[in-house]
């Protein structure tokens, strides 16, 4: 079986979906821009450098959902997809995903961003399988916390293996390819047969060049 894994932010998407979601909510007046914008910029910078704490990162962005239910968020989520996400997905990214789908690969989007924000993007790209950070929900709505293992750094490999085991599959039995831009995804890239660096950050570019990995740009 051929397994193909796609990171989302700065890989298939030109931008970071968590950061874009926050920018969107600030424009819509849901978040106070004066208070939130500096925190958002700091979190993005520390994520890119690989220095942010995993739980701190996850709770910061999942916290934007707190206090509302899925149904209450849905109109904004649909607007976010149409106006902020779709324009940032290039034709080259769509063509690459379609190439793997048409070849019969088992295609999975694996992202540190939470499922509620990213599942519509996966649907838009015709990617059936999504592994994402899971936001906690109760009857009153999102709690602002995560549940289960975070889908970040080494957690992406852990979550992938758990996902495959539940389907009677093993990573070592697959011909596997992974696409990502980030040093945060180094564990995932090292776990597959064919790692591909997509518009890699400075740290990942050095590693990719040293290891002879393909480097490509989709945007």
Q: Kindly write down the DSSP assignment for every residue of 2-60, as one continuous string.
A: EEEEE-TBTTTBSS-HHHHHHHHHHHTTSS-HHHHHHHHHHHHHHHHHT-S-HHHHHHH
- How high is the pLDDT of residue 68? 96
> What's the pLDDT score for residue 164?
97
What is the third-level CATH fold of 2-216? Rossmann fold (3.40.50)
Alpha carbon distance 182, 154 (integer Å): 13
Query: Mean of the pLDDT values across residues 173-184?
Result: 96
Q: Where are the domains of the chain?
A: 2-216
Asked if residue 73 lies in contact with residue 116, where contact means CB atoms within 8 angstroms, the answer is yes
CA angle 141, 31, 139 (to 5 degrees): 5
Q: Is the pLDDT reported for residue 15 higher than 90?
A: yes
Residue 50 confidence class, pLDDT cut points 50, 70, 90: confident
For residues 192-197, average pLDDT:
98
Catalytic residues: 7, 9
Q: Are 25 and 66 in contact (CB under 8 A)?
A: no
CA distances from 103 to 4, 149, 193 (A): 11, 31, 17
Neighbouring residues of 24: CB distance < 8 A, sequence distance ≥ 6: 76, 79, 80, 83, 84
Least confident of 31-45, 58-72, 133-147, 173-187: 31-45
Determine how β-strand 2-6 pairs with β-strand 141-147: unpaired
Q: Global pTM? A: 0.93
pLDDT of 135-155, one tens digit each? 999 999 999 999 999 999 999
Q: What is the dihedral of CA 138, 25, 123, 63, to 10 degrees?
A: -30
């Amino acid at each position: 079986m051929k397994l193909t894994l796609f990171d989302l932010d700065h890989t298939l998407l030109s931008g970071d979906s968590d950061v874009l979601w926050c920018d969107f909510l600030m424009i819509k007046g849901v978040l106070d821009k004066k208070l939130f914008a500096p925190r958002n910029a700091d979190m993005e910078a520390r994520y890119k450098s690989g220095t942010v704490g995993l739980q701190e990162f996850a709770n910061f962005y999942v916290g934007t959902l707190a206090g509302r239910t899925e149904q209450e968020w849905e109109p904004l989520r649909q607007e976010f997809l149409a106006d902020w996400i779709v324009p940032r997905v290039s034709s080259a990214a769509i063509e690459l995903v379609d190439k793997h789908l048409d070849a019969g690969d088992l295609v999975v989007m694996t992202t540190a961003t939470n499922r509620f924000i990213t599942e519509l993007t996966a649907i838009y790209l015709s990617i059936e399988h999504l592994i994402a950070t899971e936001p906690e929900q109760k009857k009153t709505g999102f709690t602002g916390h995560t549940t289960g293992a975070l889908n970040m750094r080494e957690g992406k490999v852990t979550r992938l293996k758990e996902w495959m085991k539940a389907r009677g599959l093993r990573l070592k039995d697959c011909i596997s390819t992974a696409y990502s831009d980030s040093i945060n995804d180094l564990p995932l890239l090292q776990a597959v047969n064919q790692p591909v660096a997509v518009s890699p950050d400075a740290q990942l570019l050095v590693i990719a060049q040293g290891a002879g990995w393909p480097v490509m740009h989709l945007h």
